[in-house]
Structure 1
Amino acid sequence: MERPPLDYRFTLANERTFLAWIRTALGLLAAGVAVHTLVQPFHHAGVRRVLSLSCIVLAVALASGAYTHWRDVQDRMEAGEPLRNTPLVPILAGGIALVSVFAAIATVWP
């Protein structure tokens, strides 16, 4: 039995979700570049670099994860299989929490 064609609204919703993840990754990338370029050095060596690199690494992880998730969702929708949960949400939440802790330490620690 042949499956009916996939409703285009699901494909477009999947694409919008992918683009939202990519916008978030671009924001993190811009933040990493801005921290490295615009923020004055902190009292402790390397703190600015750690903040910058953590934002950039998180951006790379999010962008690559967004593509993987988009492809997986598209394939599963076309096959009529149930969708899996994405690990992107806990990765993003944990990454932002970690960057926030780095930023808090850098600004408070004399």
Structure 2
Amino acid sequence: MSDIGRLRAARDSVLLWFAPARVQDEGTTPDYRFSLANERTFLAWIRTALALIGGGFAVDQFLTDHLTHWARLVLSLGLLAAGVACTLRAVNHWVRCERAMRLGTNLPVSRFPAALAVVVAVLAIAMVTVVLAGWAG
């Protein structure tokens, strides 16, 4: 597929985020239990995103005496960025799974959960390092 074809496919996918009724035009209606399970998964991703965003704000607002400005900035922006990515990925994954179920194809695979886990682990290690350095200093 050409670059223009990939861009069009990405654009069409994003447009489906805001017009989920168009998804219903494809394939056949899956068992409602599967659609509801897909929605619960979406909501779990949104809860994860909210926790990451809340953690980003908490680091920025409440660790003012314990961390340097740059450490707070890097950690809070990392958590906020992970929350934004998780939010966008949630809706993208929901649409892709709904389409796959309607078309009777395999559910889409994703590296995003592993990437998110690595980002959160790196941020957690950075936070532990900064906290330990603050206690030692």
**Bigger Cα displacement from structure 2, 16-25 vs 31-40:** 31-40
Other-structure match for 2:56: 32
Match of 1:17 among 16, 19, 41: 41
Q: Percent identity, please.
A: 36
| Gaps in structure 2 of 5+ consecutive residues | 1-26
Q: 1:68-87 residue pairs with structure 2 within 5 A?
A: 68-87=92-111
Shift of 1:89: 1.2
Residues 22-54 of structure 1, C-alpha deviation per residue, up to 9 Å, x if partnerless? Answer: 000000100101110111244544001111011
Q: Distance in 2 between matches of 1:38 and 1:88?
A: 29
Shift of 1:72: 0.3
C-alpha distance 4-78 of structure 1, shift in aligned 2 (>3 A): closer
User: Is the contact between residue 50 and residue 83 of structure 2 (CA under 8 Å) also seen in structure 1?
Assistant: yes
Greater fraction of residues in helix: 2
Secondary structure (helix, strand or coil) at the match of 2:42 reads helix
| Gaps in structure 1 of 5+ consecutive residues | none
User: Is the contact between residue 29 and residue 55 of structure 1 (CA under 8 Å) also seen in structure 2?
Assistant: yes
Q: Which amino acid aligns with 2:79?
A: C
TM-score, structure 1 length as denominator?
0.89
Number of residue pairs aligned between Structure 1 and Structure 2:
108
TM-score, structure 2 length as denominator?
0.73
Q: Which amino acid aligns with 2:61?
A: T
Runs of 4+ more than 3 Å apart = 41-45
Q: Which amino acid aligns with 1:7?
A: D
C-alpha distance 76-4 of structure 1, shift in aligned 2 (>3 A): closer
The CA RMSD measured in Å over matched residues stands at: 1.6
Secondary structure (helix, strand or coil) at the match of 1:46 reads helix
Residues 35-78 of structure 1, C-alpha deviation per residue, up to 9 Å, x if partnerless? Answer: 10111244544001111011000000111011111110001110
Q: Distance in 1 between matches of 2:52 and 2:42?
A: 15
Secondary structure (helix, strand or coil) at the match of 1:85 reads coil
User: Is the contact between residue 32 and residue 53 of structure 1 (CA under 8 Å) also seen in structure 2?
Assistant: yes
User: Is the contact between residue 31 and residue 55 of structure 1 (CA under 8 Å) also seen in structure 2?
Assistant: yes
